[in-house]
Amino acid sequence: MSPDTPDPYSDPIAFGQRVKILRSRRGMTRDQFGGLTGKSASWVRAIEEGRLKVPRLEIVLRMAETLRVRDLSDLTGDQSVHVSLFTGPGHPRLAAVQAAVNAYPLTGGREAPTTEHLRARLARAWAARHSAPNHREVVGSLLPELIRDAQLAVWRADSADERRSAQSALAEVYSLSQFFVAYQPDAALLWRVAERGMIAAQESEDPHTIGVAAWLVTQAHRDSGPAHFGAADAVNLETLAYLEPLLPDAPVDVLAITGALTFEAGYTAARRGDPGTAWRYWDTAGAMANRLPVDYYHPITSFSRAIMGAHAVTVAVELHAGGESVRQAARADASTIPSRPRRARHRIEEARGYQLDGQPDAALATLAQAHEAAPETIKYNGYAKRIVLEETQAKSPARRRRASELAVKLGLLAA
């Protein structure tokens, strides 16, 4: 952006100008942006040029969702009301995690933990993340010491084999960290964690560790908007090319991370609006899932036989196919997903499908189930918050009341 271009985060500029600047930053054409918000390119142009007035709240919220704005005021310019969407409130544990990520242990008398000790702590941390409704609080309390100890283990490694093993553990600690820092108000920290995780994974030379780090870097790129979809594919497909020759003799965790990456390629294709490619990758990932033991569940990505139904809902929702989203939701069994945050995210995807299909009451009921499963997941999810805010303006008094009650629980409205 040139120095003469106004900044929508600081200058009191018109709504249409904000839309144009934010759309351009996301790398979207008017045609793409209009398609994702259910409008034409000519409508977008008329909004940006000020020939149409600011649309009703329902449309503004969908525009904010598509642009993934940090706060609704970034789009509307109204600084009197702040509603965070895709960046949630800063978690109380964030400062301690930031400090641990930014520090490096170069001196000091502490003894470095063994890799086996780090692995045992990581296993407990992942189990806690999947089982706790307040999973960010639990993970945030464990991360500072885990980060420092894993960094120290790499620094104090005595041999090449020890160093590779320690790098693998450090990469996994960074992977756990990325789950915590996602949607926190520090994008630079997210990228620092993702990139350090990828570097540590490469240094470990361990296929599974490399696959997990690439899976998370792919997501970081995709969530940055259409201009970064190519980067997401580049990381994803390069890692698949590395892993696929290993599959005939690969252990189950390598097969699972390869399946997870295969689905991620379909997820990005769905975001791009390419249904043929999206469903082709979903089919391929499903075949890989069927090669896993019936009760297997990947401890980081949740990839399993059980998750493929949830993945189908995600593909349909990202393709904006409301009817297909609802059909896939009816086939998916959320009760088979053991991870509370992953189950909550699936409920949010189902709610998006119901909203697309014109069933707002079902959408709100499903979001209430997401909140029951993992309150911290829905609290940081912009799609869920958009639906709730939209329905607080519904014509139906009963629906307005249910939406307002949920909005209070999410911190979107005062009690």
Asked, for residue 177, whether it belongs to a domain, the answer is yes
Point out the domain boundary residue: 157, 190, 205. Answer: 205
Query: Same domain for 54 and 110?
Result: no
Query: Same domain for 100 and 179?
Result: yes
Query: How many C-beta atoms surround the C-beta of residue 211 within 10 A?
Result: 26
pLDDT at 379: 86
Query: Same domain for 67 and 107?
Result: no
CATH number of the domain residue 46 falls in? 1.10.260.40
pLDDT at 73: 77
Asked, for residue 29, whether it belongs to a domain, the answer is yes
Asked, for residue 121, whether it belongs to a domain, the answer is yes
Query: Same domain for 171 and 117?
Result: yes
Query: Same domain for 38 and 105?
Result: no
Query: Same domain for 58 and 98?
Result: no
Asked, for residue 27, whether it belongs to a domain, the answer is yes
Q: Using CA atoms, how far apart are residues 368 and 352, in angstroms rounded to an integer?
A: 13
Query: Same domain for 93 and 201?
Result: yes
Query: Same domain for 32 and 66?
Result: yes
Query: Same domain for 99 and 157?
Result: yes
| pLDDT tens digit sequence for 9-36 | 444 458 888 888 888 888 888 988 888 7
Query: Same domain for 37 and 144?
Result: no
pLDDT at 12: 42
pTM listed for this prediction: 0.82
For the ranges 89-98, 201-210, 360-369, which has the lowest average pLDDT?
89-98
Asked, for residue 306, whether it belongs to a domain, the answer is no
For the ranges 20-34, 210-224, 364-378, which has the lowest average pLDDT?
20-34
Q: Using CA atoms, how far apart are residues 273 and 284, in angstroms rounded to an integer?
A: 19
Query: Same domain for 133 and 190?
Result: yes
Maximal CA-CA distance, the chain = 68
Point out the domain boundary residue: 152, 171, 205. Answer: 205
| pLDDT tens digit sequence for 132-174 | 989 999 999 999 999 999 999 998 899 999 999 999 999 999 9
Domain that holds residue 93: 89-205
Asked, for residue 170, whether it belongs to a domain, the answer is yes
DSSP 93-107: THHHHHHHHH----S
Asked, for residue 385, whether it belongs to a domain, the answer is no
Could you give the percent of the chain with pLDDT greater than 90? 64
Point out the domain boundary residue: 205, 230, 263. Answer: 205
Query: Same domain for 57 and 150?
Result: no
Q: Which amino acid is at 29?
A: T
Three-state SS string across 118-155, please? Answer: HHHHHHHHHHHHHHCCCHHHHHHHHHHHHHHHHHHHHH
Helix axes 340-356, 308-318, angle to 10 degrees: 40
Q: Are 350 and 384 in contact (CB under 8 A)?
A: no
| pLDDT tens digit sequence for 376-414 | 899 888 889 889 988 988 889 999 999 999 999 988 776
Number of structural domains the chain divides into: 2
Asked, for residue 47, whether it belongs to a domain, the answer is yes
